[in-house]
Structure 1
C-alpha cells in the first residue's frame, strides 16, 4: 500500500516557561472544552523546526527582507574574486525589481530608486559582513529626521522565502549579464517546486506570482495543554550595583509563566511532498527528511529560554500511517486524580485509548503504527520501538515506501 499521510503525535511536559508569548507578554492560550489551555503556536513550532534543521547543516533556504541585498552581495563578491568591475546600481536595480515582482505588480521609478539607494547604503555600512550580520544592523536602524516612517516602509522588501540555489542562480545570471556573457535576468523564482526541503515542507506564497506558490507538504498543529492552564505571575526586581545609600530596586517589573503537558501533531502529505520537493527520491533525501522530522519532534520555541529550564524531551511519540489525516482531541480537560499529581501518565493513557477507538471506528483509515517513549502498559495497537532513532526511521521509510 502506498502511504498517503504519516502523522506524528507528541506528548511533552514543559516545566515553568513562557516559550511563546502574546502581545501582552503572556503565554499564548486558547479555549477548548470550556477551559483555557496553554498554547504554543504552529508558527513558533515551525520556526523552531526550521532553525534546528539548519543547525543540522541544511543551509537550503533563507527567509528574509534583504533578498536584494544578498543577491547584490554575491555578485560583488564574485566580481571582486575575478578582479572585474560591475555597475553597482544596475546590479541592485535588477535584484530589487526581481524580488519586488514576487509580491507586487507595481514598481515605479520612485520606489525602485528608493530601494536601490537603501540597498546601496546597507552595502556601504556592512561591507564584508554576512547576511545575518547585515540583517541585525538593518533591524536596529531607526529612520533619520529626513526619512519618514512611510519612506522607510517603501525602501524595505516584503519578507520572502527563497532557496539558496535560487539566490545563487539569480546572482550568477546577473553577474553574467554584467560581464557580457548573458542576458539580463528578470525572474528570480522559476518554479513552484523547490529543492529546499523546508520550503517544500512548510510552503511559501508570493502575492504577485500565485502560480509560483509552493504548497506545504507538512501540516503542523498548535501545541495545547491537555488540562486547564494556570498562569504564574513572577514579580522581580533589579538591584543597582554601583549606587550607594539607595534602599530599594533600580527596576521593578513582572514576568508571566505557565507549565503543563502539551499535545501536538505534524502530518506529512506524501504526495504533496513528492510534488513540491525536487529532491524527493534523490540520494540524501532520506537523511534530509530524517533531520527535518527530528527537528519537528524535538525543537521548541525559545521565548524566555535563558530564564527558565523548559528544554525537556517528549514523554511519548506516536507515528501512524494514514489514508486520511487523523488527530486526537483532549476536549475533556484532564485533572489531577491523586496526591501524586501530574498529567503526563493520564495523557499517555488517554492517547492510547483514543487511538484504539479510532482504529475500531474505521480500520481502513490506518496502516502501520509505531510508538516510543513512556509506553508502559498502555495498548496503542502499535509496534513499540526502543528509541526515537528507530521511530524516525519508521517515518522516513514509510514516506518513501512504494515510490
Structure 2
C-alpha cells in the first residue's frame, strides 16, 4: 500500500418527499440559509446516527456510546465469574488509570464510545493481572476499534490521549432549492367515545418539507486503515458506502408519512491522491 493518502469523495442527490426527518428544538424541520435562500437541511450528526443504526441492521459490529461504560465493563467482569466487589474495584482503578473521571453514579461526564473488543480486552486484562499498568490500559483503549469508532472518531475531554481521529467526514445535507415549510393539520378520534359525542379527542399540526438533498461525504481510506487495520478497512469502506448512501435514512417523524421513497438520482465517486 502506498504511503499516499487515498480519499474517496461521495456526492449524492437524493429526493425526499414530504417528511420531517431532522427536527430542531421547536420540532420544525432543520433549515439553512445558503445562496440567499432558505433550504432544507439534515445535520451530519443525524446522518451518522442513521449510519450507525444501519450497521446494526446489517449485523456489523459497532461500539457502544454511553455514559455507563463503567457498568458495561463491570457486567463483563461479572459474567466472567468475578465477584461484584472485586469487579467494581477493578473497574474504578481502570478508569482512574485511563484518566477518565466517574461521578457518584459511576458514570462518565460525557458519552464515551468503546468497542466490544476494547471492553473484552480490558476485562481480560483485569482478570489476568493483579497490578494494573496505566500504559497497557491506554494501549487497549487505543486499539481494536469498531467500525463506527474508526470512521467517526472519539473525543475524550478528560484525557485527549484516548482521542481517535475519525477517517470519515459527513457534511450537512442541504436542498438544491429553496424550501417553504408546510403544516399538516391533523385530528384524532377516541374509539371509546360515545357516538353522540362529537369532536376530536386530539388535534395538532406537524411541520414538514419536501426536497432534493445534496449529500457529501469524504473518506480517508489510509486513516481508516490506521484506525481499523488494512484487512478490515477494505470491508469497512464498502460497509460505509453501502450503509450511508444506499440504505440509511434518518427516521425522525418519517413514519408519519412513509420511508419507502428513497430516490437516488445521482451518485458520484471521486478518488483523489495527495
TM-score range, shorter chain: 0.7 to 0.9
Say whether the 8 Å CA contact 1:9–1:265 is kept in structure 2.
Answer: yes
Distance in 1 (CA, whole Å) between partners of 2:169 and 2:17 is 26
| Change beyond 3 A, Cα 1:102–1:250 | farther
**Counterpart for residue 74 of structure 1:** 76
Distance in 1 (CA, whole Å) between partners of 2:218 and 2:108 is 35
| Change beyond 3 A, Cα 1:196–1:273 | same
Residue 217 of structure 2 corresponds to residue 266 of structure 1: yes
Structure number having the greater strand percentage: 2
Residue 124 of structure 2 corresponds to residue 176 of structure 1: no
| Change beyond 3 A, Cα 1:194–1:171 | closer
Residue 244 of structure 2 corresponds to residue 296 of structure 1: yes
Q: Deviations over 1:215-268 (max 9, x none)?
A: 111111111000001211111112111121421111111111111100011111
Distance in 1 (CA, whole Å) between partners of 2:222 and 2:236 is 17
**Counterpart for residue 84 of structure 2:** 88
Residue 113 of structure 2 corresponds to residue 161 of structure 1: yes
Question: How many pairs are equivalent?
Answer: 267
Say whether the 8 Å CA contact 1:194–1:214 is kept in structure 2.
Answer: no
- The worse-fitting range, judged by mean Cα deviation, of 242-251 and 6-15 is 242-251
| Change beyond 3 A, Cα 1:24–1:3 | same
Residue 271 of structure 2 corresponds to residue 321 of structure 1: yes
Question: Residue 205 of structure 2: SS of its match in structure 1?
Answer: strand
Question: Residue 5 of structure 1: SS of its match in structure 2?
Answer: strand
Say whether the 8 Å CA contact 1:41–1:222 is kept in structure 2.
Answer: yes
Distance in 2 (CA, whole Å) between partners of 1:42 and 1:103 is 29
Q: Aligned to 1:309, which of 252, 255, 258?
A: 258
| Change beyond 3 A, Cα 1:270–1:230 | same
With a CA cutoff of 8 Å and minimum separation of 6, indicate the structure with the bigger relative contact order: 2
TM-score (norm 1): 0.61
Q: Deviations over 1:87-124 (max 9, x none)?
A: 313312432453476675x56xxx4xx335xxxxxxxx
Question: Residue 7 of structure 1: SS of its match in structure 2?
Answer: strand
Q: Aligned to 2:51, which of 49, 52, 55?
A: 49
Aligned-pair RMSD on alpha carbons?
2.4
Greater Rg by CA: 1
**Counterpart for residue 147 of structure 2:** 197
| Change beyond 3 A, Cα 1:38–1:289 | same
Say whether the 8 Å CA contact 1:5–1:323 is kept in structure 2.
Answer: yes
**Counterpart for residue 378 of structure 1:** none
**Counterpart for residue 122 of structure 1:** none
**Counterpart for residue 334 of structure 1:** none
Say whether the 8 Å CA contact 1:201–1:217 is kept in structure 2.
Answer: yes
Question: Residue 216 of structure 2: SS of its match in structure 1?
Answer: strand
Q: Any residues of structure 2 matched to 1:2-151 within 5 Å, and which?
A: 2=4, 4-79=6-81, 86-96=82-92, 98-99=94-95, 104=100, 111=103, 114-115=104-105
Q: Deviations over 1:140-175 (max 9, x none)?
A: xxxxxxxxxxxxxxx565210111110011122233
**Counterpart for residue 235 of structure 2:** 287
How many Å apart are 1:55 and its aligned residue?
2.0
TM-score (norm 2): 0.87
How many Å apart are 1:77 and its aligned residue?
1.4
**Counterpart for residue 234 of structure 1:** 184
Q: Deviations over 1:9-51 (max 9, x none)?
A: 0000001111111110001111001110000100010111111
Distance in 2 (CA, whole Å) between partners of 1:91 and 1:193 is 22
Distance in 2 (CA, whole Å) between partners of 1:193 and 1:171 is 14
Question: Residue 233 of structure 1: SS of its match in structure 2?
Answer: strand
